[in-house]
Structure 1
Amino acid sequence: MSGLDLAGKPGDESAVAGGLMAHLLMLAPAPVIRLKGGRLRLDVKYVEGMRAHDALWDGAVSAVVWEGAGAVPFGADYAPEDLGFDLTVLPAGALVPVAGADLIAAPADMAGVLALAGGPVPVVFVVEYTIGTRLRIVALDRDRGLLRKGWSALWNLAVEARRRAAFRRAAGVQCNGYPAFDAYAGLNARTMLYLDGRMRTAMMATPQEMASRAAHCGPLRLVHSGRLEPMKGAQDLVPVARGLVARGVDFTLDVFGTGALEAELRAGAEGLGGRLRLHDPVDFETVLVPWMRGNADLFLSCHRQADPSCTYLESLGCGVPVLGYANEMWGRMAAESGGGWAVPLGDRGALVERIVQLAGRREAVTAAARSGLAFAQGHGFETEFARRMAHFAACLPPQRTVV
């Protein structure tokens, strides 16, 4: 393990598992739907991530997902032979086929895989939600009554005890985001921090785009993207927009996404004189990223949860600074990256006030855009994935490592 800082900084060790020739089995709760003709509907981000894992691992990589999803919102249809990696689709609840694997990468969100820790095949758990985040998600669920929320909270607390015990027995733990790392780093000596995102180096904002944005002097162009759900804070978008209108700010707010609150946002947008514009979900790489690089000044995030939303890093990579609530993830990233501002959690008025200030200080927006882009460039898709694969290699049992 020499050269790899398991607290999250790359050392001198190679970024790939060169020469290991070990079989890495990757489990995921990724949604999948079987289609006619043997084709599969899969989440695009999941497929892209698996292809990156396969490219960076010098050995066999296979993946397992389970049926049961009713829909794949951000998905595409694939022929299994075109995926570029070996995928097994199992019925919901089926046991994990671990035979032949040298190392298992398992999501700690799946309670059923926690029992793999300490078994015949070493396991590296990947985690992003803390127990605090899980409980806040339960509290925000509008579809559950008080009794169901109470039962769910107790169930989450029980699973959390199992999760922490499994981390202690695991070969390693990978923490996506600062909150998870802070919560779990003390449980396993091989714990690493990484920042998940889809922004490859070639996708990031160019100097010409940064200069064009800095020269823009029209309405402040706000943008928001993601699922329009209570846990993502989408219910705050219309009130913030109304607050800006009341303060006389010249702005536009483009919202990309869909979800349970879409109708609520569309109704609210009708009274905003065309300033709030809703768009259907679009392809991330070919549509959303180019649009943000050329048409946005500031990303408005109303996310209350501490989960490591990749939107933060991806927005910074587009050269667009972020204004959001000071949850445990964005509050820390805002301070470390210099790529935006964090206001008290749930304080819509503070969001409005900061936008009012920034509308009159475009140079501050430009400075944050530059700092945020530099931070994102240091945590690009290729870099973070390479570090993760090196960590997997370091977690292999001694007989599988190269002397």
Structure 2
Amino acid sequence: MTGRLVIYSSAPAQQRADGLWLDAKFVQGMERHVAEWPGPVSVVLRDAGLPLPFGVHCPPGSLGFDLAIVPRRAAVAPHLGRDVALLAAAADDHEALDFPALAQALGAKLVYVLEYTLGTRLRIVWMDRTRNPLRRARSALWTLQQERRLRRALRVADAVQFNGYPAYDAYRGLVRDAHLYLDNRLSAAMLATAPEMTARAERLRSGAPLRLIHSGRLEPMKGAQDLLPVMDALATRGVDATLDIYGTGSLEGDIRAGLDRFGGRVRLHAPVDFARELVPINRSRADVFLSCHRQSDPSCTYLEAMGCGLAVAGFDNAMWRGVQTRSGGGALAQLGNVAALADVVARWHHDRDALIRACGHARAFAADHEFDGVFSARMAHWRKVAGLAG
């Protein structure tokens, strides 16, 4: 039998009274792992012990892989099993940084998956509202210490898959086998159709109000605090625009409290199912994805919105800059400058043809990085590292 694939993931898991809950994106991705690995698959997760904003209930027997949920800081080795061909681990989790010795003991190849750069990790620490300045300083020092462990681990791993341009650019010189990918959930069948792109273009050329949309976690790290100020700035510029926000999070109450001043032009919605609801909404009821994200983590939202034919107006973080400069599928505004982000949208309001072109470039770039192709390339890379044919 072909050797086992073992995945140690940082995806959250929660054991509740009604059973197991897993992150929806993770479950979707695991379906493909199982389909494209020529042997058994096992997964090791840590118990988050917290509610999952985008969780799905997983009844016993509903998963196509073996699953072990381990408490934080508990030993992982007893849960890995035997006949392991490849151990894949999230290097963003510091508990995985001692895995080179573990993989060697198992006789397995080790592939790390990495998303965050040191700069992103430090910015996340400093934006954590739950910690006072002293605790943030201690966390920053700890993060700097972990960076040394991370670099050592990357150097000895058999391969590293980098999700996004920032991590790839920062660490690829350390590793022996680097694979770049842009993670997202948008399959070719979900891409905006030619009639939908034409309908959007005709509507924009008619002078209709711009339809902005935002989806995701409503958290400071994601820049959700800037959404309403951008709409305020657009109003002062005389831009007729609406904004639909889909999501939940710690800033939901603040956003809801500010809606009245917009007279219905800004609407807050609960999270909706990605494939069944959000994708059709993006494709037929929006023109621009408004991203106020200041971090450089590889948010899949960029590609997913672009594939629906939406131009992205976003801050100049390293990830969006990498996508925008390669695609032309949107525009950049100075990091954290709400007025500059509003100016980006205002320019499109006055130059609809430029916006239509950006929408077309966005869809074309996303089509080159659709889920199936990206995922199959990643799995082919894993099989190659493990010495398996195909």
Classify the secondary structure of the residue corresponding to 1:147: helix
SS of the residue 1:235 aligns to: helix
Q: Give yes or no for the alignment of 1:269 onto 2:249.
A: no
Amino acid paired to 2:267: R
AA aligned to 2:150 is R
2:170 is aligned with what amino acid?
A
C-alpha distance in 1 between matches for 2:48 and 2:16: 13
Residues in 2 aligned to 1:382 and 1:206: alpha-carbon distance in whole angstroms: 18
Paired residue for 1:367?
357
Is contact 2:383-2:389 (8 Å) kept? no
Alignment-mate amino acid for residue 276 of structure 1: V
Counterpart-to-counterpart distance in 2, 1:80 and 1:200 = 28
In structure 2, the partner of 1:166 is 153
SS of the equivalent of 1:179 reads helix
1:144 aligns with 2:134: no
Question: 1:21 maps to which residue?
Answer: 2
Q: Return the offset for 1:92.
A: 3.2
2:196 to 183, 189, 209: 209
Given that 1:221 and 1:252 are in contact with CA atoms closer than 8 Å, whether structure 2 keeps it comes out as: yes
Aligned residues: 380
1:166 CA drift (Å)? 0.3
1:70 aligns with one of 50, 60, 64: 50
Supply the distance in 2 between the matched residues of 1:322 and 1:68 (Cα, whole angstroms): 32
Q: For residues 366 and 2 of structure 2, what CA distance do their matches in structure 1 show?
A: 32
How far off is 1:214 after superposition? 0.6
Alignment counterpart, residue 95 of structure 2, candidates 96, 100, 112: 112
User: Is 2:238 the counterpart of 1:258?
Assistant: no
User: What does residue 5 of structure 1 align with?
Assistant: none
SS at the partner of 1:197?
A: coil
Superposed displacement of residue 34, structure 1: 2.3
Q: Which moved more, 1:176-185 or 1:261-270?
A: 261-270
Per-residue CA distance 1:37-56 (angstroms, 9 max, x = gap) = 7x311111110001111111
- Give the CA deviation at 1:271: 0.8
Alignment partner of 1:231 out of 221, 241, 244: 221
Give the deviation of 1:286 after TM superposition. Answer: 0.6
State the alpha-carbon separation in 2 of the partners of residues 68 and 33 from structure 1.
Answer: 6
Task: Report the Cα distance in structure 1 between the residues aligned to 2:89 and 2:184, rounded to whole angstroms.
Answer: 19
**Higher alpha-carbon deviation: 161-170 or 64-73:** 64-73
Offset of residue 69 of structure 1: 2.2
Does the 8 Å contact 2:40/2:65 carry over to 1? no
- What's the TM-score, normalizing by structure 1? 0.91
Task: Give how far 1:402 is off.
Answer: 4.7
Query: Which SS does the other structure have where 1:384 is aligned?
Result: helix
Q: How much has 1:290 moved relative to structure 2? A: 0.5
- Partner SS state of residue 268, structure 2: strand
Residues in 2 aligned to 1:197 and 1:58: alpha-carbon distance in whole angstroms: 23
Q: Give the Cα–Cα distance (whole angstroms) in 2 for the partners of residues 67 and 234 of structure 1.
A: 27
Give the AA of the match of 1:175.
F
Report the Cα distance in structure 2 between the residues aligned to 1:342 and 1:193, rounded to whole angstroms: 23
State the secondary structure of the residue aligned to 1:323. strand
- Which whole-Å CA distance do the structure 2 matches of 1:168 and 1:312 have between them? 30
Over 3 Å counting, the alpha-carbon distance change for 1:402 and 1:277 in structure 2 is closer
Whether 1:45 aligns to 2:45 is no
Q: Is the 8 A contact 1:61 1:86 kept in 2?
A: yes
Kindly provide the amino acid, as one letter, of the partner of residue 332 in structure 2: A
Q: Report the AA paired with residue 126 of structure 1.
A: V
Deviations 1:350-403 (A, max 9, x none): 11112111111111111111111111111011011111111111222xxx5459
Q: Which amino acid aligns with 2:266?
A: L
1:99 aligns with 81
Following the alignment from structure 2 to structure 1, what is the Cα–Cα distance between the partners of residues 113 and 4?
18
Aligned to 1:340: 330
Relative contact order, higher structure (CA 8 A, sep 6+) = 1
Residue aligning to 1:57? 37
After TM superposition, list the pairs within 5 Å mapping 1:170-189 onto structure 2. Answer: 170-189=157-176
Pick aligned residue for 1:127 from 107, 110, 114: 114
Query: Does structure 1 conserve the Cα–Cα contact (< 8 Å) formed by 2:15 and 2:49?
Result: no
Provide the secondary structure at the position in 2 that maps to 1:271. helix
- Deviation of the 1:36 alpha carbon: 4.4
Equivalent residue number for residue 13 of structure 1: none
Give the secondary structure class of the aligned counterpart of 2:137: helix
Counterpart-to-counterpart distance in 2, 1:227 and 1:131:
22
Moved more, 268-277 or 197-206: 268-277
TM-score scaled by length of structure 2 = 0.94
Please state if 1:80 is matched with 2:67. Answer: no
Does the 8 Å CA contact 2:332/2:344 hold for their aligned counterparts? no
Could you say what secondary structure the match of 2:75 adopts?
Answer: coil
1:195 matches 2:182: yes
Q: Secondary structure at the match of 2:45?
A: strand
Label 1:388 to 1:274 Cα distance change in 2 as closer, same or farther (>3 A): same
Give the distance between the partners of 1:249 and 1:291, measured in 2 at CA. Answer: 22
Q: Distance in 2 between matches of 1:343 and 1:247?
A: 16
